[in-house]
Structure 1
Amino acid sequence: MHLSPSVLLGLAPLAAAAAATTPFSEWTALCIRSQTPTITDLARCGDPTEFAECLNKVPESFSSEDVASCLAVSGCSDDLAAVGAQTIVDLCESVQDLRKRDDDEDEKRAAEPRQKWETPQPTPRAVSPNPVVAPRQETTTSASAKPSDDACYSTSVISTKLCSMVDSHITCSDTTINKISCRKELLCRINAQGGTACMERVDSLDTGGIIVSIVFGSAIAIALGLLIFCCCRERRQHKKLAAKAEAAAIAKASSVGKRARNVSDRQPLMTQAPPSPGGSNSGAAGGYGGGAGGYGPDAGHGGYDAQQPNPFGDQTRY
């Protein structure tokens, strides 16, 4: 936040009149001391080193007048010092208000579950000697009543650090916050309506779980048995088909061999050669014998005479 000198001079009387002499709170004083290097930039005047030395000399509980005095010592005019002091005080107090508001909301949120769970104790009632019987009042309950989300969650307090950043400077402080989590014995879910639905957590195996396990195990075993049975049956069928194909091939081969033997039985062992012209018995004519009776085209050696009958001539030709 940067203000021009003319605006600062115009606001100087108002700032001087509103300057408080009461000491700051602990958190505001810590915020001002942590912002020492940037206070002179906000005031647009003064020496940062001289202002820091002056602020270190003031006691721990100081007020805005002490800040304005240190700004004046660092070289600011009285009017600019008053306005600059009020500016840094307002900035730190606004941060403190936001922090306090967050703490109040956390405390309120933490107190709500306890208030809902607390049930009023019945007060003792004086018994009159003559009791009066009052008519019974019919009460109806809504069917859409839903259990509170507080029955599903529990609140715990944890320690953490709360940090704030002012002009590139971070300050942290230890604090406690409330953490809301699902109860250990419950299982919490968000339903379609955006509400919380919780059910009892069962970590051990009960009777229902055992029954479900048996059913699933039996189903898996039956499925495996059917798969093995189908595989064995298909393999047996393949073997039968292979045996039938082999038997058919053997039968076909035997029928072909039998047909070949029948044809060879009808063929003659030897056929008669045609007679040579003129009935010559010379070897040169190609007949049997001749000359000296031998075989061959020339002189024979003791062969058959051409006039002798052919020993194969009276065989029946097939």
Structure 2
Amino acid sequence: RPECLHTRSQELAAAASCGDEGSLNYCFSHLVSTDSATPVEQLTSELESCFVSAGCTNAESQIMALWTLQRCNEAPSDLRRRRDGAIPLPREAGAMPGITMVAVRQANDEPTTAAPAPTSTLTCFTETTIEITSCPVQTTGAGAGKKLSCFPTQVPSSVCADNLICQIDNQGNPSCMIKQSKLPLEGIIIAIVFASFIAVSVISICFFCCRERRQQSRLLRAAEAAKIAQEAKTQAMIDAKKSG
């Protein structure tokens, strides 16, 4: 029976009449004893804890624990046939909790294309799985709003394929283009032209700055020479008056 609980945990969780399916699946496959010599009473107690943690009432948990052990004695085809005809459970007003379920799909890590652009045959996104922690919340019944036990699970996630640049428009339609890891010839030519333009601009600025500086130096020297000549002329006139 412990082996059945572990190998058929997903099937048993889906067939249960109460409780969060993801929480039950995780509890059956990870938290229930794996020892084949485990007494039935201990297995029953562990299963009851699983159902209580998943949102079932104590009465429902006792019934579902026995029901699950009985299902492990049946062939898988019998379990699938009974899934829609679950055993009757005591249903009191507000006693049956409604559970917010986390749907988990088995991802095959195969690339999928979601509505590709008519002009593109690229596979934009690939499907993979990511690890998350799911914390279901009971939504109906006497325990509505109660946060149930958290458990790790895997959920599908779409990621952009390698060597592509992906985006999604406002309508949710994906599109993608090939990522260019090397600069094309046109880009190299444009880069060279742009660099040449910058170099010519810098050289031109330096040339005009140097020419303006030389002109200013020449004008300054001419002004100083004119000042010296004027002072010499004035001094000569003063000396001439004194001698006269």
Distance in 1 between residues matched to 2:66 and 2:131, nearest whole Å: 28
Distance in 2 between residues matched to 1:260 and 1:169, nearest whole Å: 111
Match of 1:113 in 2: 112
TM-score (norm 1): 0.44
Secondary structure class of the residue paired with 2:214: helix
TM-score (norm 2): 0.55
Distance in 2 between residues matched to 1:235 and 1:179, nearest whole Å: 67
- Residue 51 of structure 2 contacts residue 65 of structure 2 at CA under 8 Å; is this kept in 1? no
Distance in 1 between residues matched to 2:113 and 2:170, nearest whole Å: 28
Distance in 1 between residues matched to 2:172 and 2:62, nearest whole Å: 58
Match of 2:66 in 1: 61
Unaligned stretches of 5+ residues in structure 2: 1-14, 25-47, 69-89
RMSD: 4.3
Query: Are 1:202 and 2:180 counterparts?
Result: yes
Match of 2:132 in 1: 160
Distance in 1 between residues matched to 2:169 and 2:114, nearest whole Å: 25
Deviation at 1:233, TM superposition (A): 0.9
Distance in 2 between residues matched to 1:114 and 1:175, nearest whole Å: 25
Computing the radius of gyration from Cα coordinates, the structure with the larger value is 1
Q: 2:213 aligns with which of 235, 251, 265?
A: 235
Distance in 1 between residues matched to 2:113 and 2:171, nearest whole Å: 25
Unaligned stretches of 5+ residues in structure 1: 1-21, 40-51, 64-81, 118-144, 267-318
Match of 1:34 in 2: 53
Q: 1:99 aligns with which of 101, 118, 134?
A: 101
What letter matches 1:226 in structure 2? S
Deviations 1:174-199 (A, max 9, x none): 43321112111111234577643322
Deviations 1:88-141 (A, max 9, x none): 3x31xx32xx527x44xx679x99937989xxxxxxxxxxxxxxxxxxxxxxxx
Q: Alignment length, in residue pairs? A: 176
Deviations 1:36-74 (A, max 9, x none): 9x95xxxxxxxxxxxx6x8997782259xxxxxxxxxxx
- Residue 111 of structure 2 contacts residue 125 of structure 2 at CA under 8 Å; is this kept in 1? no
Greater RCO, 1 or 2 (C-alpha within 8 Å, sep 6+):
2
Q: Which moved more, 1:26-35 or 1:224-233?
A: 26-35
Deviation at 1:236, TM superposition (A): 0.3
- Residue 24 of structure 1 contacts residue 61 of structure 1 at CA under 8 Å; is this kept in 2? no
